[in-house]
Structure 1
Amino acid sequence: MIGCADERRRADVRVAGGNGIDSVGVSDDGRSLTVGFFGKAPEDLVPANFRIDGGRRVTGIAVVAVELWASDDPDLADAVRLTVDRAGDLSSYRLSIVESGPIGKPGTRPYPGFDPRYSSVDFTFGSCGDVDCAPVEESAPPVEAAVEIDYLSKDYASFRQLLLDRLKLTMPSWTERHVPDVGIMLTELLAYEGDRLSYQQDAVATEAYLDTARLRVSVRRHARLVDYPMHDGCSARAWVCIEADEEVPLPKGTFRFSTLPGISLKESDLRGAPEVFEPVHDEEVRLIPARNRISLWTWGDQDCCLPAGATSATLVDSDRALGLAAGDVLLFEELIGVPSGLAADADHTHRQAVRLTSVIETEDKLYQQKLLDVTWAREDALTFPLCVNARGGPECVELEVCVARGNVVLVEHGQRIDPECHCVPDPAPDEPQCPRDCGCGCGGETEPEPGYPPLPVVVQPQLRHQPVTQSVPFPDPADIAAAQARWLAGLPGRIRARLTKLWRSELSEEDIKFVTVLFGAKLVKKLDLREHPRRALRYLLACFDDLLETKLERLKDLVRQARAGYVLTAKNEGWEIGQSWGADEGSKLDERREAFRGPASLATRPDPRAALPAVTVTDRNHGIWLPQRDLLESGPADRHFVGEVTDTGATVLRFGDGRNGAKFPLSGELTAALRVGTGLAGNVGREAISSIIFDRTDVPGIRSVRNPLPAVGGVDPEPVSEVRLRAPQEVRRRLLRAITADDYATLAGASPSVQRAAGDLRWTGSWYEAQVAIDPLGTEVAPTWLLDETRAGLYRYRRIGHDLSVFTATLVPLDLTVHVEVLPDHIAGHVRTALRRALGAFFQPDRLTFGTPIRVGQIVATAAAVPGVRHAEVTRLERLFGPPGTALATGVLPIGPLEVAQLDDDPSRPENGQLTLDLAGGR
């Protein structure tokens, strides 16, 4: 019999006036049944009208009596009470109301008036008691085919293949696999979304470790934990030379440069996608025509060259119109080739920019020529020999081979754009998330959904423009401090020179005021400077150190501070210098001076790991927020933020939490001024920058704009894969403290002026002293300035309890005698000269360093390689000062770890090593 959950037929039978069995109730003893009907019970019912079928253990149950229970309420149904001959078991029985049979037995046809569907009903006798009833056997629901799901599919490629395999089963006729097909497009979209959702499920565990992190921001923060500065790229820099027909100023913030054709352009002329370069220093640039082309003076001589390593030159300044000063940049350039005299034959690699450290006016009285003697830093020393003049060309005349260029501007790749405006949401629950008075146009994008409380506000706006310029701050504070230290160290010498000049000339009121500030009014009055200036100045010069002992000691303290990296300011230390040494000297300590910007060579070698996003944020209270690499050293009042580059190249600004960096003021708007453009795209070639673009002004008279040197320093963001490899090894590569002797030597040898350094720890009886020996590059004895800089640099790394001593390496003069047999067809004098040249190169200071032993075999091989030598033999190899050794017997003269061998072969200084050549044969 079919079973249905919704029996609508029952209601229809009632409405149609039909009858049927509604319910069956069993008495406690199981001997009587109460049967309810839909309507009125027939009055002529007898036991033969009821048949009970079924049962397992008790069967054949018969009805023996029928009692009618009629209800007086017409709305209530009737019932009958049946008495059976015995109680049944707990199995299922079926009670049917039927017509009586011919012999008083129940029949099979339903009783007239009863619906066939409800003429019988199933029931059971009694309950199950304390045991569970047997479950009703119902038909099991149809089992659907299980969908095969590969739970190992976690990435885009796996999801895509899984979808294609599934579609192959469900849609066998679809066999298209071309990318433009709409089915493939939908499949790839679903695979992408599955990959994204799968990543979000595992994001916490994935991003928690450096080896598994996928987000660039996560990898950056993991690397920061081990002090590995992951960089986001760096912008290229170049030197741009401008030639002008008249002296004009370029107002700051109104000009930039580009690779567009032309010379002087407007902002509206920016079309296409040119590379734009902004000046590194936001300052006014004054163009002077005399600096377009500056000739070098050779004092009337010809075929002159500046050698490699030169740090000074003499410039022609006929009308005193150059106006050069310390800090200005000159660019030396070879114009023509020698001997052809053609510009096409010029060596374009012979171009170099230098920053002047001193400028002195002088004059060549023989030729009545006004000159300028200029010098530049050791780091800017010429890397090639620069030919100044020579004879050549079709007519074999004297040619000017190279010149110096002024009007030089340092530029950096990246174009400034209109400031971006961002809304900061308001956390108040009764306020909209975007302030209504905010002019940023954020609209209702951040409006909270009704009925949900607002989430905590995290101020991390994302800049709309990309890629944001990554710029290294220039000049570096360490370079400024080092330049200030050198300037302060030379201050007493300059004061002495000025007093000497005053002693030879007449004193003015300004000079008397200067001497009074320097030595005090009481001493100046006592010496009667006005009446007897020469006598007074002679006394002041003779007692200079004694009279200014306190000021000199304070000056040494300032020099130590500057060498330690502390930038001296004009407001504090500059004022102090002005009060002690004169107002002119105090004004020159300004940290913004061009002379303190460091060598020109460092300006175009930016370190990408020190680069910061070129973004400045202004809040609603006009507060300025500046970028930092991290906020670990930022205090609660520091307006700093961090710019983090995401995987898509966008830059997200992260502000402080009130402890590490100040919290950003909520509710309002912020404005971000930024530049766009960075990476390898800025490394344009020489002569690529050819135009200057003016924003709000127009400067006439500009003849040409060019970059004689290519732009360099542009670097793309560091790949995440490389960070995973390098970051774990960073702690082993970086030396942060000097503990052992090798640590001191490694740190001292990092200076570009040091060829090598050696260290040793000596016990003094109370503590250890770290002794560091310096082998300078290009010379044998380290100058005082190099020892002072090395000592100041090591002091911050030294271990607590270690004294520090820095000195020149111990030189070991040698006494060498070489016996040489010369071939008969060679002149002995020529061979002798060639031998001295070859052995001089062998003992060149930069070739020998700490602990380098002198081997007899190498000396013999060097001498035997000289043309004309038939046989060479070392007959003496000893230390010039010391007991005899065994070098000839062992073939090696050992040199100590803090010693350097020396053999200058200088007859005027025999104590620096002697070379004796014993020649036989030849002509």
Structure 2
Amino acid sequence: MIDCTDERRRAEVRARERNGIDAVSVSDDRRTLTVLFFGKAPEDLAPVNFRIDGGRRITGIVVVAAELCVSDDPDFADGVRLRVDRPGDLSTYRLCVVEAGPVGNPGTKPYPGFDPRYACVDFTFTSCDDLDCAPADDCPQQTVPEPEIDYLSKDYASFRQLMLDRLSLTMPAWTERHVPDVGITLVELLAYEGDRLGYQQDAVGTEAYLDTARLRVSVRRHARLVDYFMHDGCSARAWVCLEADEQAELPEGAFRFASLPDGVLLDEGPVLQESDLERPGMPRYEMFEPVHTEPLQLRPAHNRISLWTWGDQECRLPKGATSATLADPDRALRLTAGDVLVFEEVVGAKTGLPADADHTHRQAVRLTSVTETTDELYCRSLIEVTWAREDALAFSLCVNARGGVDCTEYEVGVARGNVVLVEHGARIDWCGDAPEHHDVPPPEGTEPGCPDPVDFGCPDEARPARRPGYPPLPVRFRPELKHRPVTQSAPFPLPADVAAAQARWLVALPDRVRARLTRLWRAGGPLSDVDFEFVATVFGAKLVEKIDLRTHPRRALRYLLARFGDLLETKLARVRQLIDRARAGYVLTEANEGWEIGQSWGGDEGAALDENSSAFRGAAGPATQPDPRAALPAVTVTDRHGEIWLPRRDLLDSGPADRDFVGELDDEGAVVLRFGDGRNGAEYPLGGTLTASLRVGTGVAGNVGREAINRIVLCRVSVGGIRVVRNPLPANGGADPEPVSEVRARAPQEARHRLLRAITAEDYATLAGQTPGVQRAAADLRWTGSWYEAQVGVDPLGAEVASEWLLDEVRAGLYPYRRIGHDLAVSSATLVPLDLVVHVEVRPEYLAAHVRVAVRRVLAAFFAPDNLTFGTPVRISQVVAVVASVPGVRHAEVTKLQRLFGPPGTALDTGVLPIGPLEVAQLDDDPSRPENGRLTLDLAGGR
């Protein structure tokens, strides 16, 4: 029988629904045969329809029983289980399905419906577990020896030489080596393509790992996998002060600023038009644009604001001050909460000359409250202003002084208004200029001349081809922006800062309402319609009518003030819920929470909760210190449907409907836009034109010095009266893109230095110490009998006892980091008052009273709140050293050192007074508060 390896007849038999034997298997006892057919088994098969021939030692094997095995699944073939009279030997047998012969014996003709070729099959009565049952190949295919190829060839020269050597063997008659020859041309073309493919393979392997990646985009994505945000630079920011001779308003988006070198365009003054910068021969300059797109009000009264000293001279605004009094003689100041003032020393404190002014004594602060008041003694109108704790003065500002040649009085420190926050970079579509346009490839199958999308092969390389029956490959539209360097701008204000400011505003809401009621009660007169409506909104119309507010306002207001907490218990509870939500980082909106506050506490309070208000932009200091890792490309994209797409750090949190994209900086300094895939971020709509509005200018080039920003550039508007444009403080925050080498070194280790969960007591202390206003913090885990409680002690900066607002902020900051199952208790540090007695021997030539004052002064500095912290022991040797350093002290000795309230202890014997981990030593030496520590000096000698 012929033996073929390609059995095409088998497939043809199946296709025409003819039957045949597909396979035969033998049981372990070699008495049962299982026969599988191509299709359904005939129902009338009997043992006489099976014939077994062959065998060497054992022949004449007969089938004694046949059992049909019918499958219920139409996709599976049927079979039959045969029982033979005895097992066969190891030789080959042949099983056939035949018609029954005479006298009930098997015949020789194939059974009706069975194909003659597949009516019989060869088999053996042994398994192939230990034997090789595959038939030997009697006609093996002839193999051609593989050519000897140098697989180390990877570049153009080696590929070219490899092909020429191979051609010399296969075509020895071809000896042409001239460049114009078509054979040499083909060899060099293939060598070039091989070199390109080899480089691509090497690049794929190289860019697959952080340690070997060289492309900036690859390193950026590798670092993102370990939560390291590689930054692409950041634009600098600065505060610009303007001085105007008349009141004016600069329209939104119609002005920006420039830093021109000295001597350029001096005739035009500080105000320029956009066309003035297009003159030939203009030197290099940097452009700055306002961070907030809003109109700017210029008022002459804000040019220079004097600080009121209440008639005293030689006054200073101390370091750490958060409030000041401003002179407003004509009530022309229009300052509100959220405005920025720049405190500046304009002349020297000793000479009164502008050249001697200390230029480091300049600082911007953002006002948190503005209150009008009056100095009745001098009949002067004043304004009390306060600013945030983060903007506390970093220096002592001299307000006025007496000096100079004539010993006259002069003003040293002033405040500047008309301040605007600007950022380095210039919009390319400003003042009517056109934005960038990029052609978007059309959807698949709509290109002119392209075959139907189900056909294979499309001549446009921008559209990948697809095979019939397979889904289309996605089109990755990643345009590269033409302008560079694209501005990298950090968001301002941060949502967390806005939410924190809203939380502080809500905390003071009940006090503001109570203060307004108190003012109305003290006024004693009838209420106006506005005041009556306010009280009715807060307490309800029914209660106001019940207490007869219209007829007896003073008595009714006194009742409301006395029961303020009881009457407004539900509203105060809701305010506390909103405070907790804001402290958790959620920004409250005017449309939702603002409307609710307006319905409960008055329309003015609800309108003040606007998330875009300047009062919620945070302190002025951090505004010029942007975080480069939070910076994003200053690019907005408009698609053909008019929808706006915004930049994001990544698309991991973007959904299929979010119009987000990622701007990646490549090694050439260009920004490439990457859109979503339909799961992480929306896919960009194909077809039409992409419009990109962007700003250009970033990096350290924007870190210009003070007084460098000296021009305002207007667009198609005319504003008169602007006489001075300047930045009193240098621009800060500009940074170049982070080098790839630094990312490789920092990214693997960054996660180990970032604390994201509080597990141990040290974790709680570290996270609590990051809260502004906290000098140090300590923590301890205490077992309550059922679970652990994290007890956190706070040592405030510049104070002995932490205020309630500081404890609330620490508690709110720790709560997201605490371990599940840990209770949290935050309190001020436990103060340990000391009882200290020091014996001092004074030198004969010194006055004892002067030495006493000096010793008390140095010990007060030694026991200052900021010098002592949690667990700091008090050492006798340090106290003696401090006292002995005072001039006039010949000998010092500590005769008593112990806790003011408690047993004497052993400090004099051991030389150390131990302090607990959550305790802080205290020695105020205040006679009016002896419970805060007592210092006794025993002086001997002196005069």
TM-score (norm 1): 0.77
Give CA-to-partner distance per residue, 1:459-492, whole Å, 9 cap, x none.
2111001111000111111110011001000000
- Code of the aligned partner of 2:560: L
The answer to whether structure 1 residue 267 and structure 2 residue 278 are counterparts is no
Specify the SS of the correspondent of 1:863. helix
Cα 1:195/1:675, change in 2 over 3 Å: farther
Match of 1:398 in 2: 409
Specify the SS of the correspondent of 2:806. helix
Say if 2:235 and 2:699, in contact at 8 Å, map to a contact too.
yes
CA distance in 1, matches of 2:385, 2:196: 63
The answer to whether structure 1 residue 375 and structure 2 residue 393 are counterparts is no
* Alignment equivalent of 2:730, drawn from 706, 710, 717: 710
CA distance in 2, matches of 1:748, 1:789: 9
CA distance in 1, matches of 2:192, 2:537: 77
The answer to whether structure 1 residue 691 and structure 2 residue 711 are counterparts is yes
CA distance in 1, matches of 2:594, 2:368: 19
Match of 1:533 in 2: 553
Specify the SS of the correspondent of 2:351. coil
Cα 1:403/1:192, change in 2 over 3 Å: farther
Superposed displacement of residue 451, structure 1:
13
Give CA-to-partner distance per residue, 1:215-274, whole Å, 9 cap, x none.
111111111111111111100000000111111100001110001244111112224431
Match of 1:13 in 2: none
CA distance in 2, matches of 1:654, 1:447: 16
CA distance in 2, matches of 1:724, 1:387: 49
Cα 1:619/1:153, change in 2 over 3 Å: closer
* Alignment equivalent of 1:600, drawn from 620, 626, 632: 620
Say if 1:433 and 1:448, in contact at 8 Å, map to a contact too.
no
The answer to whether structure 1 residue 427 and structure 2 residue 443 are counterparts is yes
Match of 1:461 in 2: 479
Specify the SS of the correspondent of 1:474. coil
Match of 1:497 in 2: 515
Say if 1:686 and 1:707, in contact at 8 Å, map to a contact too.
yes
TM-score (norm 2): 0.76
Specify the SS of the correspondent of 2:306. coil
CA distance in 2, matches of 1:469, 1:902: 52
Cα 1:398/1:667, change in 2 over 3 Å: same
Match of 1:278 in 2: 289
Superposed displacement of residue 428, structure 1:
2.1
* Alignment equivalent of 1:487, drawn from 505, 519, 541: 505
Superposed displacement of residue 393, structure 1:
2.0
Match of 2:119 in 1: none
> More displaced, 592-601 or 195-204?
195-204
Say if 2:923 and 2:932, in contact at 8 Å, map to a contact too.
yes
Q: Matched residues, percent identical?
A: 73
Say if 1:433 and 1:447, in contact at 8 Å, map to a contact too.
no
Match of 2:336 in 1: 325
Say if 2:464 and 2:475, in contact at 8 Å, map to a contact too.
no
CA distance in 1, matches of 2:584, 2:424: 32
Give CA-to-partner distance per residue, 1:588-621, whole Å, 9 cap, x none.
0000111000000010111111111100111111
Match of 2:244 in 1: 244
The answer to whether structure 1 residue 334 and structure 2 residue 345 are counterparts is yes
Superposed displacement of residue 353, structure 1:
0.5
Say if 1:255 and 1:694, in contact at 8 Å, map to a contact too.
yes
Say if 2:535 and 2:544, in contact at 8 Å, map to a contact too.
yes
Specify the SS of the correspondent of 2:920. strand
CA distance in 1, matches of 2:201, 2:546: 88
Superposed displacement of residue 846, structure 1:
0.6
Give CA-to-partner distance per residue, 1:141-160, whole Å, 9 cap, x none.
xxxxx999996999x9x99x
Give CA-to-partner distance per residue, 1:21-79, whole Å, 9 cap, x none.
xxxxxxxxxxxxxxxxxxxxxxxxxxxxxxxxxxxxxxxxxxxxxxxxxxxxxxxxxxx
Q: Any gaps of 5 or more consecutive residues in structure 1? A: 1-145, 160-190, 435-443
CA distance in 2, matches of 1:857, 1:196: 76
Say if 2:895 and 2:908, in contact at 8 Å, map to a contact too.
yes
Say if 2:464 and 2:473, in contact at 8 Å, map to a contact too.
no
User: Which aligned pairs between 1:541-620 and structure 2 lie closer than 5 A?
Assistant: 541-620=561-640
Cα 1:894/1:703, change in 2 over 3 Å: same
Superposed displacement of residue 203, structure 1:
1.8
CA distance in 2, matches of 1:345, 1:451: 76
User: Which aligned pairs between 1:151-550 and structure 2 lie closer than 5 A?
Assistant: 199-260=199-260, 261=264, 262-270=269-277, 271-418=282-429, 419-432=435-448, 456-505=474-523, 506=525, 507-550=527-570
Superposed displacement of residue 449, structure 1:
11
Say if 1:432 and 1:448, in contact at 8 Å, map to a contact too.
no
The answer to whether structure 1 residue 748 and structure 2 residue 768 are counterparts is yes
Say if 2:771 and 2:809, in contact at 8 Å, map to a contact too.
no
CA distance in 2, matches of 1:445, 1:363: 78
- Code of the aligned partner of 2:514: R
Say if 1:823 and 1:868, in contact at 8 Å, map to a contact too.
yes
CA distance in 1, matches of 2:832, 2:449: 78
Specify the SS of the correspondent of 1:600. coil
Match of 2:114 in 1: none
Say if 2:240 and 2:422, in contact at 8 Å, map to a contact too.
yes
CA distance in 1, matches of 2:700, 2:736: 6
CA distance in 2, matches of 1:620, 1:450: 25
Specify the SS of the correspondent of 1:202. helix
Specify the SS of the correspondent of 1:796. helix
Say if 1:326 and 1:595, in contact at 8 Å, map to a contact too.
yes
Say if 1:426 and 1:433, in contact at 8 Å, map to a contact too.
no
- Code of the aligned partner of 1:627: P
The aligned length equals 740
Match of 1:850 in 2: 870
Cα 1:314/1:684, change in 2 over 3 Å: same
Say if 2:444 and 2:463, in contact at 8 Å, map to a contact too.
no
Match of 1:439 in 2: none
Superposed displacement of residue 427, structure 1:
3.1
User: Which aligned pairs between 1:909-920 and structure 2 lie closer than 5 A?
Assistant: 909-920=929-940
CA distance in 1, matches of 2:386, 2:780: 37
Specify the SS of the correspondent of 1:370. strand
User: Which aligned pairs between 1:30-69 and structure 2 lie closer than 5 A?
Assistant: none
Superposed displacement of residue 534, structure 1:
0.6
Superposed displacement of residue 872, structure 1:
0.8
Cα 1:433/1:808, change in 2 over 3 Å: farther
Superposed displacement of residue 395, structure 1:
1.4
CA distance in 2, matches of 1:512, 1:534: 12
Match of 1:69 in 2: none
The answer to whether structure 1 residue 894 and structure 2 residue 914 are counterparts is yes
- Code of the aligned partner of 2:400: N
CA distance in 2, matches of 1:463, 1:317: 51
Q: Which protein is bigger by CA-based radius of gyration?
A: 1
The answer to whether structure 1 residue 905 and structure 2 residue 916 are counterparts is no
Give CA-to-partner distance per residue, 1:692-724, whole Å, 9 cap, x none.
011121211111100010000001111011111
Match of 2:134 in 1: none
Cα 1:152/1:842, change in 2 over 3 Å: farther
Specify the SS of the correspondent of 2:720. coil
- Code of the aligned partner of 2:892: A
CA distance in 2, matches of 1:845, 1:787: 17
Say if 2:759 and 2:818, in contact at 8 Å, map to a contact too.
yes
Say if 2:155 and 2:198, in contact at 8 Å, map to a contact too.
no
- Code of the aligned partner of 2:486: V
